[in-house]
Structure 1
Amino acid sequence: MKIIFLGTGSGKTSRERFHTSLYFETPGFNLLIDAGDGAAKALMNSSLDFNSINGILFTHYHADHFTGIGALITQMKISGRKSELTLFTHKNLVEPLINLLYYVYMFPETLGFNLKIIGYRLAEKVNVADDFSFVARQNSHIYPKGDIEFYPESMFVSSSVLITVADQSIVYTSDVGGSDDLYLFDNIKPDIFITEAAHIEPGDLYRAFKDIKPGKMFVTHIEDEKLGELIEWYESLDESIREKIIICRDGLTENLG
């Protein structure tokens, strides 16, 4: 099993990093988590075939995590994909996903492959494949802001996920609203803890590492302007801790055996 960090940037477009996306390569199923702007190019940059993806899981619909899906499916169609593709999204967001694909003219009848959409519920175990599942929990990253009361509350969904592959457990916080969101799976001591750096402080990362005690922590969703501060914090840590905390770069691959 491998985790490939296709993009490690934040919501702010970077010359150095693609927007955040993760690729889980397993013997039975390859899962992409999030497909922000530029996802198709990020896959090419890591020498991955568009059609190697069996499924895509969305944590939320901010543009840097979601809006590359139209272009990615377009590339799958152009390249002659034949195998089924499964999209996993929160049940409240199934219709917006379908509408986006319609408005970029990606109609199921013309794709050339079967497109399956599964709407998941929070706290529900979803089986992706044999020995491969996830559970999503709501975090506080997205909430109604400003004078937008006329939009339904049901559309404001942002998930962190616990992924289980065979005997490996991986927490991916995705974007969070604050440090409390790092503890949504505090009953788990994960093998891998993947979190973001754009919306929290280095001290929050350190406390989470000490409290949660993961096998390794991977820090992604990095703003160019904050990289220097992040590296300075990392270099201040004891060597024994630095061995278990990784500041991600695009294309980084972690082999989990």
Structure 2
Amino acid sequence: MSMEIRMIGTGQAFAKKYFNNNALVTCNGYTLMIDFGITAPLAMYQMNVPLDAIDGVFVTHLHADHIGGFEELMLRLKFNYNKKPTLFIEENLVSPFWEHSLRGGLEFGADSRQKLDDFFHIVTLKVGVPMEIHPGFRLEILPTRHFLDMPSYSVIINEQLFYSGDTVFDPELIRAVHERGCMYLLHDCQLEGHGLVHATLAELLTLPDTIQQKIWLMHYGDNMDQYIGKTGPMTFLLQHETYSFPIKASATKNE
């Protein structure tokens, strides 16, 4: 069994060459969108992927490069495609996601007031509690340290792929997911400067080679090409590329 990931963007929040770091994950016929930032609608258009290919969406946190495309996504899915996908979101993010980020542009419909559940089937996630969202497709969210007091989350998919979301360098978290058997670590990477809210390349290079060999770098700056060959055993994920990650049978209960 394998999991397919299409990186619709791999760039940091203000990148112009690379789109916002968002990903389409397909497993057992179900397609999950991880975040949907400002550039996501254009990225999907350029990749010739229709919005109704999305079955569900997972939100890591509420910065615009991760949720800035939701208004278009929600309106088009509802009115162009007549589709109501599933929103997977940490339970404490539901209210601020709607009240602080979306309500102003989406509440007023043509003939009635709209709510978040008019656009999505809402499924709340709890930290550290795995959930099967589709047969053979499981998520488990973990908290990350990004901005002070801002809730943000990483996700483990099918016990073997770790997707960091946005986080400062957290070697304890990285070692923990490595030791519990994650084979693929998709991690945000600030290429230069001091890592106030993201892990830096210099920090990630301090990890043991056995861990670095598992790391795929994402959420980087527009000068990524200047760092090719300077990442140790770690590999850059590339925008608009599709990756297939084999998953061991022992980690897929419904196989």
Aligned twin of 1:162: 156
Q: How far 1:187 moved relative to its partner?
A: 2.8
Within the candidate set 123, 144, 147, 1:142 is matched to 147
Deviations 1:113-164 (A, max 9, x none): 86211221111112211111111111111214xxxxxxxxxxx211111111
Give the secondary-structure state (helix, strand or coil) at the position aligned to 1:224: coil
Does structure 1 residue 255 correspond to structure 2 residue 244?
Answer: yes
Within the candidate set 213, 228, 231, 1:231 is matched to 228
Deviations 1:143-192 (A, max 9, x none): 14xxxxxxxxxxx211111111xxx7210111111242433524323232
Aligned twin of 1:188: 180
Distance 1:246 1:213, change over 3 A: closer
Number of residue pairs matched?
Answer: 231
Larger mean Cα displacement after TM superposition, 171-180 or 98-107: 98-107
Aligned twin of 1:219: 217
Q: CA RMSD in A?
A: 2.6
Aligned residue runs from structure 1 range 111-126, under 5 A = 115-126=120-131
Aligned twin of 1:64: 65
Deviations 1:85-131 (A, max 9, x none): 111111111012233443222668699x8621122111111221111
Q: How far 1:232 moved relative to its partner?
A: 4.5
Code of the residue aligned with 1:161 in structure 2: it is: V
Name stretches of at least 5 consecutive residues in structure 1 with no aligned partner. 145-155
Aligned twin of 2:252: none
Distance 1:101 1:229, change over 3 A: same
Deviations 1:53-108 (A, max 9, x none): 111001111111112111211222342233x3111111111012233443222668
Does structure 1 residue 98 correspond to structure 2 residue 87?
Answer: no
> Equivalent pairs: percent with the same residue?
22
Aligned twin of 1:246: 235
Question: Normalising by the residue count of structure 2, what TM-score does the alignment of the two structures yield?
Answer: 0.80
Question: Normalising by the residue count of structure 1, what TM-score does the alignment of the two structures yield?
Answer: 0.79
CA distance in 2, matches of 1:138, 1:192: 18
CA distance in 2, matches of 1:103, 1:185: 38
CA distance in 2, matches of 1:184, 1:136: 13
Does structure 1 residue 171 correspond to structure 2 residue 162?
Answer: yes
Distance 1:246 1:103, change over 3 A: same
CA distance in 2, matches of 1:48, 1:103: 28
Code of the residue aligned with 2:165 in structure 1: it is: S
Does the Cα contact within 8 Å between 1:125 and 1:134 map onto a contact in 2?
A: yes
Distance 1:230 1:33, change over 3 A: same
